[in-house]
């Protein structure tokens, strides 16, 4: 990217979920003139959640889109410039850091907060999109509460799937675990806990091929594979379908410049938002493979803005 005709931004925030907008609120109140680029999914993953009951300050609950609109308006109140657009190229080789927006507009920034989030991995079934927010979820701890005394299924055989199944077993009447292999990949202690929980039934060697229901999810069609010649179709009645086959952090733009862990999450100095590059900070699910909650993302956005303010002040920027 050339150095001419670029817009110069003091504090650039990439991403518009709870982390990005909380960072914007703090950065705006600190007079950092923050600019937020919302990306392909304004509001982040939370906009796909219909009901949120575990975020402080909403005693009656709220919708995901409504909460993100509240955060957006609060950020704007403190003079955050919220822009529609996607960062399509990044050059973090030297400061000020260089970016392209939508493959056209060129900008540079003194401080950058990366809050691009992560996406739950899905099976790729057309029905998953059809029942998104109406039975299909990528977060058991976010949405499990809405399936109390109901029957649900968890897809996956690793530690995360086992943790989700155990969590749901305390809320739901019945929990199916749909496992493609004939064994669980989870740690031995997690396997033992799952297999000893009365209301969890593990369906080994099963794959989901479809979902069904009128207006909301009511069932799933599975294939039980003992061999290609004797595959058997199985239908189960369920109210909720939880994916627990991993998440993909949105880090492709930054991997050339920032260190990631084995799963692709951006690394940072523990207990801070600082990366290996001065003036580049991380917030939210893009750097969090463990919690992935709106409230933890918001807290990390606060950290990133405070760290960015200190950096800019120390550099006289």
Q: Based on the residue annotation, tell me whether 302 is a catalytic residue of this protein.
A: no
For residues 63 and 51, what is the distance between their CA atoms, to the nearest angstrom? 5
Q: What pLDDT score was predicted for residue 291?
A: 87
Q: What pLDDT score was predicted for residue 174?
A: 98
Beta carbons of 309 and 281 less than 8 angstroms apart: no
Q: What pLDDT score was predicted for residue 2?
A: 47
Catalytic residue selected from 11, 110, 127, 142: 142
Question: Which two tokens mark 241?
Answer: 């379908």
For residue 70, pLDDT over 50 is answered with yes
What's the mean pLDDT in 7-31? 97
Whose CA is closest to 37, among 121, 124, 127, 100?
A: 100
For residues 167 and 199, what is the distance between their CA atoms, to the nearest angstrom? 12
Catalytic residue selected from 110, 143, 164, 288: 143
Q: Please tell me the pTM assigned to this model.
A: 0.80
Q: Based on the residue annotation, tell me whether 143 is a catalytic residue of this protein.
A: yes
Taking CA atoms, 296 is separated from 22, 26, 108, 144, 276, in Å, by 11, 15, 29, 18, 22
Catalytic residue selected from 11, 110, 127, 139: 139
Beta carbons of 76 and 82 less than 8 angstroms apart: yes
Residues 150-200: tens digit of each pLDDT = 999 999 999 889 999 999 999 999 999 999 999 999 999 999 999 999 999
Q: Domains plus CATH for the chain?
A: 7-119+247-315 (3.50.50.60), 122-243 (3.50.50.60)
For residue 116, pLDDT over 70 is answered with yes
For residues 236 and 213, what is the distance between their CA atoms, to the nearest angstrom? 12
Q: Residues with Cβ < 8 Å from 196, sequence gap 6 or more?
A: none
Q: Based on the residue annotation, tell me whether 142 is a catalytic residue of this protein.
A: yes
Percentage of residues of the chain with pLDDT beyond 90 = 81
Instruction: Give 47's pLDDT tier (boundaries 50, 70, 90).
Output: confident
For residues 92 and 84, what is the distance between their CA atoms, to the nearest angstrom? 22
Calculate the CA 108 to chain-centre distance: 27
For residue 92, pLDDT over 80 is answered with yes
For residue 223, pLDDT over 80 is answered with yes
Instruction: Beginning with the edge strand found earlier in the chain, give each strand of the sheet holding 232-237 in spatial order.
Output: 206-212, 219-224, 232-237
């Amino acid at each position: 990217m050339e150095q001419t005709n670029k817009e110069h931004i003091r504090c650039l925030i990439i991403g518009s979920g709870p982390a990005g907008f909380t960072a914007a609120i703090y950065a705006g109140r600190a007079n950092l003139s923050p600019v937020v680029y919302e990306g392909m999914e304004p509001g982040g993953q939370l906009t796909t959640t219909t009901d949120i009951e575990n975020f402080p300050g909403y005693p009656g609950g709220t919708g995901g889109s409504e909460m993100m609109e509240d955060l957006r308006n609060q950020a704007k109140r403190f003079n955050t410039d919220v822009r529609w657009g996607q960062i399509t190229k990044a050059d973090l080789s030297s400061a000020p850091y260089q970016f392209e927006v939508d493959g056209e507009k060129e900008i540079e920034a003194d401080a950058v907060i990366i809050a691009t989030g992560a996406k739950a991995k899905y099976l790729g079934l057309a029905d998953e999109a059809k029942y998104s927010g109406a039975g299909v979820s990528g977060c058991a701890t976010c949405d499990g509460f809405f399936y109390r005394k109901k029957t649900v299924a968890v897809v996956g055989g690793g530690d995360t799937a086992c943790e989700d199944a155990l969590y749901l077993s305390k809320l739901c009447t019945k929990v199916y675990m749909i496992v493609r292999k004939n064994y669980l990949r989870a740690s031995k202690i997690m396997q033992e806990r799952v297999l000893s929980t009365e209301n969890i039934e593990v369906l080994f060697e099963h794959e989901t091929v479809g979902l069904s229901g009128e207006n909301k999810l009511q069932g799933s069609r599975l294939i039980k594979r003992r061999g290609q010649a004797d595959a058997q179709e199985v239908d189960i009645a369920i109210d909720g379908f939880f994916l627990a086959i991993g998440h993909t952090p949105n880090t492709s733009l930054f991997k050339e410049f920032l260190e990631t862990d084995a799963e692709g999450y951006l690394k940072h100095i523990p207990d801070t938002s600082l990366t290996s590059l001065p003036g580049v900070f991380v917030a939210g699910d893009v750097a969090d493979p463990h919690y992935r909650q709106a409230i933890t993302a918001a807290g990390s956005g606060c950290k990133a803005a405070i760290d960015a303010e200190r950096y800019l002040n120390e550099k006289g920027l």
